[in-house]
A and B are shown apart, each in its own frame.
Chain A
Amino acid sequence: MMAHLVIVPVLLPLLAGILLLLLNQRSTVLERGLSIFSIIAQIFLAFKLLSIVSSGDILVYALGNWPAPFGIVLVADRLAVWMLVITALLSLFVLLYAIPVTERAGRHFHVLFQLQLFGLNGAFLTGDLFNLFVFFEILLIASYSLLLHGGGRLRTKAGLHFVVINLVGSTLFLFAVGVLYGTLGTLNMADLAVKLALLPLGDSALVRAAGLLLFGVFALKAALVPLHLWLPSAYAQTSAPIAALFAIMTKVGAYSILRVYTLIFGTEAGLGANLIEGWLLPLALITLVVGMTGVVASTHLRQQVAYLVIVSIGTVLTAFGLNTHEGIAAGLFYLSHSTFATAAFFLLANTIAIRRAELDDRLDPGTIIPHSRLIGALFFVTAVLLAGLPPLSGFIGKFLILHASLAHEALPWIMSVILITSLLGLIALTRSGSLLFYRAQPSKVLATGVITVHPVYKELLPIVGLLALCVVLVIGGGPVTQFLHFTAEQLLQTSHYIQAVLMTGELP
C-alpha cells in the first residue's frame, strides 16, 4: 500500500469527480460531504507524503511497472509534495467559501473543482514531459469550465480570450515537446537531463530553441510580461472562489519553470546549460513593475487583486531568477505566502462587493457596508500581507528574497525594483482601503439592493483560515524555511533525482 501512496493524490480527486458526476446533483448534502472529504483526504495524504520526503527520499512510482525511460513515472520529491500541500490547503478554504456563495450558480461545480485538482496534482507529480502536457490540458479544460461557471457577458468574453490564448500555448508546448523528442529521443525528464548533457554540437541550436519555446509556454501560464495580458480580465471577471483557486494556476507555470530549468536545462546540461538565466530575471523585474503599475491604476477592487497576482508571480520569478539556492528557497516561501494571501483577497473582494449593491467593487466611496469593522480589519491584515509589511509573512518573504540577492551582480536593480514596487503597493492598497472603508458615508435611506442571504461568518471563516495559514508561515518560519532550503538544495543537485528515477523499475 505504501508503494502506491504517490499516485493516490492523483487518483483521489479523479474518482471523487466521477462519483460526483454519477450523483448528478441529486443530494446536496452528499455532494458537499464527498467533495470536502476528498479534499481533507488530500490534505492528509499531502502531509503524509511530506513526512516521508522531508528526510530527503525521492519517491518514484512507475505506472504499469514499466522501467523508467520507457514508461511514465510519477515522482514525489520535496518540491512536488510542497506544492501538493499548498494546493490541498488552498482548495479546502476555497471550497468552504464556494459552498454558500457560488455553488449553485451553475451545474457541476463540485465535479469541475475535483477535476481541476486532479490536473493540478498530476502536473506537480509527473516526471514525464508529455505527461505534463496532458495534465496541463486536464487542468486547463477544468479551468475553462470553472472560469465560465455562472455565466454573464463580461465573463464569457474574458473566458474566450483565456481559452484561445491557452490553446495557442498548448500548441507551442506540443512543438517544443516534439523537437525535444526528435533530437534527444526521450521524454522522461530525468532521462532528458542525462541525454542533454551528452548532446552533440550540431543539435544544440534545435534543443535550445525547444527549451526557449517551452519557457514561452510556461511564461504564458505563469503570466510573465509580456504574456500577462490575459490574466487581469479573466481573473477579475470570474467568480471569487474560482479566482482564488486560480491563485495556484499561475504558480503551476512558476513550478514548471523551476522544475524544467533546474533539472533539464540546469548547470550540468552541457550545451543547454542555464538556458534561461539571461531571460528570467529581467522579465520578472519588468513583470513586477508592470503588475504594480496595474495595481496602482486599477479602478475596481477585483482588477486590483488580479494585478497583485501578476506582482506576486514577478516577485517569485525574480527570486527563482537568481539561480542560487537561497533564491529558490526564498521564492518558494514567497510563492506559498502569495498563493494564500491573493486567494484570501479575492474572496474578501467578493464579500465586500456583494454588500455594496450597484457600486459593486468599484473603488469609489459608497455607503457603509454591514459588518464594516470586521471586514475592514480583514482587509487591513490582507493588505499588510500583500504590501509586505512586518510582522507578517509578506515581509519575511521579501526580506528573504532581498537577502538572497545580496551577492547577485544585479543587486541594485533587484533591490530598487522590489522596494519601490512595495511602496507603490502600499500606497495603492491604502488608497483602496480608505475609499472603501474610511470615506464611506452612513446611508440615509435603508439600502435595499444589498444581498445578504447568508450569514457573514460563513463567508469570513474561510478568509480567516487562509490568513491564518500565512500566520502559520510566520510562526513556523524556522522549520518552513529550513525545509524549503533543503528543497532548493535537492533541486540543484539533479544527480539525486536522476538516479532515483532511472533506478526504478529494475526491481522485480
Chain B
Amino acid sequence: MEALISLIIGVLTACGVYLSLRGRTFPVVLGLTFLSYAANLFLLAMGRLVIGAPPIMADGMTGYTDPLPQALVLTAIVISFAMTAFVVVLALKTYKELGNDHVDGIHKP
C-alpha cells in the first residue's frame, strides 16, 4: 500500500507542477488543486499507514494510528478549499477585466 500511496502522491504532484506552469488560468487553478491534494495525502501518509488500529494508546494494545496528521490534514483541507475558492473567483475576475484567460493578460491566438 505504501508504494501505491507514494505513486499517487508522485503523479498528483507531477500533474500539479505541469498544470500550474501552463499559460492559462484554468489549468493553473487545476494544477494548484492537484498540488494541494498531493500535499494533503502526503501529510496523512507521514503518520505512517496503519489500518484497523485505534488512535489512542491503551493497556494491552500493540499498535496505534497517529491521530495528529489527520488533524493537520483537516486544517490543511479547509485552508486549501478556501484558497481554491478565492483563486477561482480571482481567475474569473482577471478573465473579465483583461478580456482573456492568459495569466499574463496577453492574448495569443
Let me know if A424 is at the binding interface, CB within 8 A: no
Known: A134-B79, A178-B39. A167 touches B87 (CB 8 A): yes
Taking CB atoms, residues of chain B closer than 8 Å to A157 are 94, 98, 104-105
Chain A-chain B contacts (Cβ-Cβ < 8 Å), number: 85
**In the complex, which range does the number of interface residues on chain B fall in?**
35 or more
B95 to chain A, nearest CB (A): 10
Check B69 against A164 for contact (C-beta < 8 Å). Answer: no
Beyond the given A170-B83, A178-B43, please list 5 additional residue pairs across the A-B interface where CB-CB is below 8 A. Answer: A134-B79, A156-B97, A167-B87, A168-B20, A170-B80
Residue ID in chain B nearest A154 by CB atoms = B105
**In the assembled complex, how far is the CB of residue A147 from the closest CB belonging to chain B, in whole angstroms?**
10
Q: Which residue of B is nearest A186, CB measured?
A: B68
B93 contacts across to A, CB distance below 8 A? 148, 156
A179 interface residue (CB < 8 Å to B) = yes
User: Contact size class for A?
Assistant: 20 to 34
Secondary structure dominating the interface of B: helix
B85 to chain A, nearest CB (A): 10
Q: Does A167 lie within 8 Å of B32, measured CB to CB?
A: yes
Provide the bound-state CA to CA distance between A161 and B103, in Å: 8
| Per-position binary interface string of chain A over residues 155-173, scored 1 when its CB falls under 8 Å from any chain B CB and 0 otherwise | 0110111011001101100
User: Roughly how many angstroms separate A182 CA and B69 CA in the complex, as a whole number?
Assistant: 9
**B46 and chain A: residue at smallest CB distance:** A182
Q: Which 3 A-B pairs have the closest CB atoms?
A: A182-B46, A174-B39, A178-B46
Which of A134, A156, A160: most chain B CB closer than 10 A?
A160
Write out the residue numbers on chain A whose beta carbons fall within 8 Å of the beta carbon of B32.
Answer: 164, 167-168, 171
Q: What B residues does A134 contact at CB under 8 A?
A: 75, 79
Q: Which residues B71-94 have CB closer than 8 A to chain A? A: 72, 75-76, 79-80, 82-83, 86-87, 90-91, 93-94
Whether B94 and A167, one on each chain, are in contact in the complex, defined by CB atoms closer than 8 angstroms, is no
State in angstroms the CA–CA spacing of A209 and B86 once bound together: 31
A141 touches B86 (CB 8 A): yes
Quote the shortest CB–CB distance from B15 to chain A (angstroms).
13
Query: Which B residues have a C-beta under 8 Å from some C-beta of A?
Result: 16, 20, 25, 28, 32, 35-36, 38-40, 42-43, 45-48, 68-69, 72, 75-76, 79-80, 82-83, 86-87, 90-91, 93-94, 97-98, 103-105
Flag if A175 contacts B28 (CB, 8 Å).
no
Residues of B within 8 A of A164 (CB): 20, 28, 32, 87, 103
Q: Which chain A positions have C-beta within 8 A of B83?
A: 137, 141, 167, 170
**Complex: A137 Cα to B103 Cα, angstroms:** 23
Which residue of A is nearest B48, CB measured? Answer: A182
Tell me the minimal C-beta distance from A64 to chain B in angstroms: 14
Task: Provide a sorted-by-A list of 15 A–B residue pairs whose CB atoms are within 8 angstroms.
Answer: A130-B75, A153-B98, A156-B97, A157-B94, A161-B103, A164-B28, A168-B32, A171-B36, A174-B43, A174-B76, A175-B39, A178-B45, A181-B69, A182-B45, A182-B47
A163→B103 contact, CB < 8 A:
no
Determine the chain A residues whose CB is within 8 A of the CB of B35 once the complex forms. 167-168, 171
Interface centre among B28, B46, B68 (most CB of A within 10 A): B46
Partner of A160, one of B42, B47, B75, B103: B103
Indicate if the CB atoms of B76 and A179 lie closer than 8 Å. no
Interface check A230, CB cutoff 8 A: no
Contact check, A160 vs B94: say whether CB atoms are below 8 A apart: yes
Q: Once the chains bind, are A160 and B91 in contact (CB under 8 Å)?
A: yes
Q: B46 — which chain A residues lie within 8 A by C-beta?
A: 178-179, 181-182
